[in-house]
Amino acid sequence: MSARPDLLQTGPMMAMIEAQLNEHFTVHRLDAPDAEAVLAEIGPHIRAAATGVGSTGGGARRVTDALMARLPALEIVANFGVGYDSVDAEAAGRRGIVVTNTPGVLDDEVADLTVGLVLSTIRQLPQAERYLRAGKWPSGAFPLTATLRDRTIGIVGMGRIGKAIAQRLEGFGRPIAYHSRRPVEGVPYRHYPDLLGLARDVDVLIVIVPGGPETNHMINAEVLAALGPTGSLINVARGSVVDEEALIKALQQGTIASAGLDVFANEPHVPEALIALDNVVLLPHVASATHLTRNAMGQLVVDNLTAWFSGRPPLTPVPETPVKTPA
Ligand code: NDP
């Protein structure tokens, strides 16, 4: 690698990432109190950015077109996470800036968690545990719950993670169908080109599409009504994909039976109205949050950056941005 390039870190990241960034780059923090001064003074020299909302619980700033406009020497943005809605990738592409994400290394972990969330939601595992801890068991058994045994499963998004979820759920012996814009070759499940049609035909709807404008509020009041009063919504994608107000209403009014949510519209803030409901299972965006998987993701962030500044192509560029070799 050439002399240490200037890198902008948009928020807190894992210690193993920060240690390696400091080793290879001159790091400037966008979450420092003097960030504006840093941008004004160092902005023109910044050649790399490391970002990722949620890498340690929030606090990172989005890499917007306006921010990139202040970084005229920016070559690469390395995002922690396979979802890169924290970066305006289209704008980066127009500006000739490469964006990388962390695909593949988290698929199994997120799929495992999703299966746990499906069972927790339908069999009410957290509610049952709360019941026991509250000392209610001696006064009577926990009420009977819904079951997966009579349910059909719908998956919205049949990409890397959607497939890993489906493979696991096959073991439960229930019918599986999915929605995505294009059918996926080689998967044995029924494809629905129409999301409403899928919602109407299944009892459990698992959402695992990317965030961003194209999927914003794609799970809306109409989809929830189609899912129906015995239906469960599981969202492990992004909070933006679900119209949260419509979901709260649907849960309050019994339009759907239950929901399991790992992601929210305004993280880390979760609406009181959701917390007050007993027919939801709420997780603080932990689908990939294990030591093993987060370390693999962190290493991929660093490896993309060091590859680039060693004159090699980035390892995992996103489709919107050009893959080229650095100057
Ligand atoms: P992939 O890119 O492999 O798959 C995305 C899938 O979504 C494809 O099947 C794609 O099919 C479908 N899709 C994309 N846009 C739309 C649309 N507008 N309408 C319908 N379907 C759509 O992504 P991954 O499986 O690797 O990851 C999916 C997302 O999961 C990530 O972007 C991230 O936001 C989220 N995630 C959440 C985590 C968490 O902690 N809760 C952890 C990891 C990921 P097609 O293009 O044919 O429509």
- Active site members: 238, 267, 285
Tokens 């050009």 -> residue: 322
In tens, the pLDDT along 183-210 reads: 999 999 999 999 999 999 999 999 999 9
- Note the pLDDT of residue 3: 83
- Pocket lining: 160 vs ligand 1, CB cutoff 6 Å: yes
Give the residue ranges of DSSP H helices in 142-288. Answer: 160-170, 195-201, 221-227, 244-253, 272-275
- In the structure, what pLDDT confidence band is assigned to residue 54 with cuts at 50, 70 and 90? low
Domain boundaries, the chain: 6-105+292-309, 107-282
Ligand 1: residue whose CA is nearest its atom 12: 157
Q: Which CATH class is domain 107-282?
A: alpha beta
Q: Which CATH class is domain 6-105+292-309?
A: alpha beta
Phi-psi region of 254 (alpha: psi -120 to 50; beta: other; left: phi over 0): left
Rounded mean pLDDT of 10-35?
95
Closest of 271, 265, 300 to residue 285, by C-alpha: 265
Between 327 and 138, where is the model more confident? 138
Q: Cα(236) to centroid of ligand 1, in Å?
A: 10
- In the structure, what pLDDT confidence band is assigned to residue 52 with cuts at 50, 70 and 90? confident
* DSSP codes joined into one string, 133-151: HTT-GGG-PPPP---STT-
Q: Is the pLDDT of residue 56 over 70?
A: no
User: Which atom of ligand 1 is nearest the CA belonging to 237?
Assistant: 35
In tens, the pLDDT along 234-273 reads: 999 999 999 999 999 999 999 999 999 999 999 999 999 9
- Note the pLDDT of residue 55: 46
Indicate if 107-282 has the same CATH topology as 6-105+292-309: yes
In tens, the pLDDT along 264-305 reads: 999 999 999 999 999 999 999 999 999 999 999 999 999 999
Contact (CB, 8 A) for 152 and 177? yes
Rounded percentage of the chain residues whose pLDDT exceeds 70: 95
- In the structure, what pLDDT confidence band is assigned to residue 59 with cuts at 50, 70 and 90? low
Residue type, 30: L
Say what the alpha-carbon torsion angle 308, 306, 60, 269 is, to the nearest 10 degrees.
100
Q: Is the pTM of this model over 0.90?
A: yes
State ipTM: 0.99
- Note the pLDDT of residue 323: 74
Rounded mean pLDDT of 7-33?
96
Contact (CB, 8 A) for 39 and 63? no
Mean pLDDT of the chain: 95
Rounded mean pLDDT of 2-23?
94
- Pocket lining: 154 vs ligand 1, CB cutoff 6 Å: no
Q: Is the pLDDT of residue 326 over 80?
A: no
User: Which atom of ligand 1 is nearest the CA belonging to 287?
Assistant: 40
- Note the pLDDT of residue 84: 96
- Pocket lining: 68 vs ligand 1, CB cutoff 6 Å: no
* CA distance linking residue 323 with residue 315, whole number of Å: 10
- Pocket lining: 54 vs ligand 1, CB cutoff 6 Å: no
- In the structure, what pLDDT confidence band is assigned to residue 53 with cuts at 50, 70 and 90? low
According to DSSP, residue 241 is labeled G
* CA distance linking residue 165 with residue 110, whole number of Å: 8
User: Which atom of ligand 1 is nearest the CA belonging to 182?
Assistant: 47
Ligand 1: residue whose CA is nearest its atom 8: 159
Rounded mean pLDDT of 306-315?
97
- Note the pLDDT of residue 188: 97
